[in-house]
Amino acid sequence: MEMLVIDHYIVGTFLASLLGVVLLYVLRRRNGDVRAKFPREDGDYFATHDASPCDSGNHDCPPENGFGAADVIIVGAGVAGAALAHTLGKVGRRVHVIERDLTEPDRIVGELLQPGGYLKLIELGLEDCVEEIDAQRVLGYAMFIDGKNTRLSYPLGKFHSDVAGRSFHNGRFIQRMRGKAATLPNVRLEQGTVTSLIEENGTIKGVHYKTKAGQELEAFAPLTIVCDGCFSNLRRSLCKPKVDVPSHFVGLALENCELPFANYGHVILTDPSPILFYPISSTEVRCLVDVPGQKLPSIANGEMAKYLKSVVAPQIPPQLHDAFIAAIERGNIRTMPNRSMPADPQPTPGALLLGDAFNMRHPITGGGMTVALSDIVILRDLLKPLHNLHDATALYRHLESFYTLRKPTASTINTLAGALYKVFCASPDEARKEMREACFDYLSLGEWLYMVLADCCCLFLHLNVSGSEPD
């Protein structure tokens, strides 16, 4: 009993510390550009920049197939790259996007956008990209442990009724954003593989890439933004990556089943680690089974199916059991490493890292897209005063504060994701078992406590849309 009291005290201290971090950020906030609950999309909000001047004799900006000189090259057109292309293109930048594969992606991650991320979509004018893809509203989380459950709703009462989380097929969401970016005449999407960055006297001038047809070309721009995802082959040129893989997700798609709590994500605290369920369409539920370590049971020889049936299936809610077994029998079992990589930039003139190429955290909280979209808002605002990106000194000066401005949001999400994953994993240690149960009990106390966690994880960014931005 004494140990349980101590563990409750530790959990309380952890949560109180998180609240203190939030309060500290509030005290240090500065005035920002967001003035209302929903950003405007008219010309008063999105300033149109004059075209950057370019001397045709300057190798920094040669004409490219009639498109003209690019102001920005974006490597990758996933969530971060596609959203960034539309954002910069909408304010008049000439954007050249080079993406390895422009067909619709088929992934098991990047499927749940938290309310804070949805608010960033609104701020970027991209909220319609979750429409017409059978996206589902997410109103909070339900948690299960040892036959008990509790439902935690996002505190969204002060916002428009449309504000909530969204879950969807990742590929459908990306294609909507790519399509919207492609409608802008100053945005060019090209399928090709970037092989290296072009560096001259310590400054990135552009990229070497190979087209879909196999032609090797160069592209030049005063700013190159690398958004080529978690498997980035370019990040080593711009940072010193320290990638950790604490676990893998094993993904299944459950068909025609109902979750215990409709429109809620479900976190099942099982042994050895959590299982997630959330809707990705009106007829499908995504199941992500976390498997700790770097070695997985083999899918090819049937070991994975056996593991899922014998170890995982007995621990999931009864309402989902039959659909879970049926999904295993269909055989479309997918895996994805859960990577963690702290942001450790080496500021480089002419280039920037963004998205999972730059910073990753365990996906247990579903915060990755929120971080990327928040970074895009910061980057857009930093570039806004610059009419001419060819002024290398001014560009570097404006961008060097990017890494500081992103810390309040990104660091909070990253820290909480790592902490919650460790707390939610099972352990033979009795103290850790009681810690996990105590955390569940604390989260069951009421909405006010969940607001602390939601704010800290930036899942609900009411602080960032009330008229100020963090320092």
Question: CA separation (Å) from 231 to 130, 268, 288?
Answer: 25, 28, 20
Q: 123 or 459, which is more confident?
A: 123
How far apart CA 83 and CA 89 sit, in angstroms, is 10
Q: State which of 340, 360, 384 marks the end of a domain.
A: 340
> Does 131 have pLDDT greater than 60?
yes
Asked if residue 123 lies in contact with residue 378, where contact means CB atoms within 8 angstroms, the answer is no
> Does 63 have pLDDT greater than 70?
no
Structural domain including 18 reads: 1-135+152-244+341-471
Q: Is residue 145 part of a domain?
A: no
pLDDT mean over 339-363: 93
Question: How many Å separate Cα 414 from the centre of its chain?
Answer: 11
The string of DSSP codes covering 381-408 is HHHTT-S-TT-HHHHHHHHTTHHHHTHH
pLDDT tier for residue 447 given thresholds of 50, 70 and 90: low
> Does 33 have pLDDT greater than 60?
no
The pLDDT, as a whole number, for residue 175 is 99
Q: 236 or 65, which is more confident?
A: 236
- Check which CATH number belongs to the domain holding 87 and give it: 3.50.50.60
pLDDT mean over 226-247: 93
Dump pLDDT digits (tens) for 145-178: 999 999 999 888 888 889 999 999 999 999 999 9
How far apart CA 246 and CA 306 sit, in angstroms, is 22
Alpha helices in 196-317 (DSSP H): 303-307
What is the SS3 assignment for 205? strand
> Does 115 have pLDDT greater than 50?
yes
> Does 362 have pLDDT greater than 90?
yes
The pLDDT, as a whole number, for residue 441 is 86
The pLDDT, as a whole number, for residue 451 is 53
> Does 25 have pLDDT greater than 80?
no
| Of the candidate ranges 133-137, 156-160, 202-206, 320-324, the one whose mean pLDDT is the lowest | 156-160
pLDDT tier for residue 456 given thresholds of 50, 70 and 90: very low
Same domain, 68 and 194: yes
Q: 458 or 164, which is more confident?
A: 164
> Does 40 have pLDDT greater than 60?
no
What is the SS3 assignment for 370? helix
Token pair belonging to 16:
């109180």
Token pair belonging to 458:
């930036």
Same domain, 272 and 415: no
Token pair belonging to 159:
């916002």
The pLDDT, as a whole number, for residue 54 is 36
Residue environment code for 129-141, b if the CB has 16+ CB neighbours within 10 A, otherwise e = bbeebebbbbbbb
Q: State which of 340, 357, 386 marks the end of a domain.
A: 340
Q: State which of 283, 309, 340 marks the end of a domain.
A: 340
Single out the residue of 354, 350, 313, 138 nearest to residue 230, CA to CA. 354
Percent of the chain whose pLDDT exceeds 90: 68
Same domain, 96 and 202: yes
What's the structural domain count of the chain?
2
8-state DSSP, 114: -
How far apart CA 434 and CA 441 sit, in angstroms, is 10
pLDDT mean over 112-134: 97
Asked if residue 429 lies in contact with residue 2, where contact means CB atoms within 8 angstroms, the answer is no
Pairing mode of beta strands 72-75, 95-99: parallel
- Check which CATH number belongs to the domain holding 265 and give it: 3.30.70
Asked if residue 278 lies in contact with residue 266, where contact means CB atoms within 8 angstroms, the answer is yes
Same domain, 85 and 162: yes
Same domain, 335 and 346: no
Same domain, 207 and 260: no
Mean pLDDT of the chain: 84
> Does 197 have pLDDT greater than 80?
yes
How far apart CA 193 and CA 421 sit, in angstroms, is 35
| Of the candidate ranges 348-362, 374-388, 437-451, the one whose mean pLDDT is the lowest | 437-451
> Does 126 have pLDDT greater than 90?
yes
| Of the candidate ranges 145-149, 311-315, 436-440, the one whose mean pLDDT is the lowest | 436-440
The pLDDT, as a whole number, for residue 9 is 40
Q: Which helix (H) or strand (E) holds 435?
A: helix 430-443
Q: What does the radius of gyration of the chain's CA atoms come to, in whole angstroms?
A: 23
The pLDDT, as a whole number, for residue 449 is 52
Single out the residue of 145, 386, 163, 173 nearest to residue 275, CA to CA. 145
How far apart CA 376 and CA 465 sit, in angstroms, is 15
pLDDT tier for residue 387 given thresholds of 50, 70 and 90: confident
Dump pLDDT digits (tens) for 274-290: 999 999 999 999 999 99
Strands laid side by side in the 351-353 sheet: 216-220, 203-211, 187-200, 95-99, 72-75, 223-226, 351-353
The pLDDT, as a whole number, for residue 7 is 42
